[in-house]
């Protein structure tokens, strides 16, 4: 992905989230620490790379899966992702999320809750990737190939 495209998509997510302050709040609640407005500005302007966890947090809050959609519409290494492998990866991530959730529920430990959040987000991202891929196939979308 081109850095300018990533910066523009991130800028759109920040705007959709309600501005820099609202976006910083959303991201902070997802990652567990405060976020600098200046850092958000640098990312929006393309001076820093977009942190994946931050993009996921904003995509969840806005229900705009722009990064996932962009990634799913691109073909890596000239070949398409195997649908069986993608489904297997989603299943594995889902199982890990369930295990982490049960562990957190049983222990009540903040560290286990944090681990459960990470696992749930990873599973969610993989299921989103799978959904976008299957939606594209159902709609008959032709993947963009590198020239």
User: Does the CA dihedral 63-66-72-77 come out positive or negative?
Assistant: negative
pLDDT tens for 41-50 read: 999 888 999 9
Place of tokens 């722009």: 66
User: CA triplet 71, 44, 122: central angle to 5 degrees?
Assistant: 40
Flag whether pLDDT at 144 surpasses 90.
no
pLDDT tens for 4-37 read: 888 999 999 999 999 999 999 999 999 999 999 9
> What are the residue boundaries of the structural domains of the chain, listed by start?
3-64, 77-139
pLDDT tens for 122-138 read: 999 999 999 988 888 88
């Amino acid at each position: 992905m081109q850095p300018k495209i990533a910066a523009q998509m991130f800028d759109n997510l920040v705007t959709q989230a309600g501005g820099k302050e609202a976006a910083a709040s959303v991201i902070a609640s997802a990652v567990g620490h405060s976020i600098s407005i200046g850092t958000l500005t640098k990312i929006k302007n393309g001076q820093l790379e977009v942190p994946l966890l931050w993009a996921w947090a904003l995509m969840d809050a806005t229900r705009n899966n722009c990064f996932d959609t962009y990634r799913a519409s691109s073909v890596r290494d000239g070949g398409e992702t195997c649908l069986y492998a993608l489904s297997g990866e989603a299943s594995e991530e889902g199982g890990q999320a369930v295990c982490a959730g049960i562990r957190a529920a049983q222990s009540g430990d903040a560290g286990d809750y944090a681990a459960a959040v990470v696992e749930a987000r990873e599973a969610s991202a993989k299921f989103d990737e799978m959904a976008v891929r299957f939606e594209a196939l159902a709609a008959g979308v032709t993947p963009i190939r590198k020239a």
